[in-house]
Amino acid sequence: MKYSLSISGGFTGITKKYAGEVSVAGTELKKIVEALNTPPLAKNENLRDGLQYHLNVQKDTENYEANFDDSNLPSPIRSLITTILNQK
């Protein structure tokens, strides 16, 4: 599965970008797609020095895209981001 991830905000406000391919199990992929297709929880306007995540995932011919922050990041997306960051 191809991905493009942009992480911005935080204390320094420096944007970090990641792109590449990652392998995930079928059940995990289903959870990721469900999380990307579910409208995120309301944005926390009081979040200070939090991170914002813009994730784009491509599986076969389908594209999935969503924005999250530290306060509304679903568990499957958090696991995917951890996997992406650990392979760099």
Beta-strand runs (E) in 10-50: 16-21
Enter the pTM of the model: 0.83
With beta carbons less than 8 A apart as the criterion, state whether 46 and 38 touch. Answer: no
Exposed/middle/buried for residue 87 (C-beta within 10 Å: 0-12, 13-18, 19+): exposed
Residues 4-56: tens digit of each pLDDT: 999 998 888 789 999 999 998 889 999 999 999 887 666 666 677 788 899 99
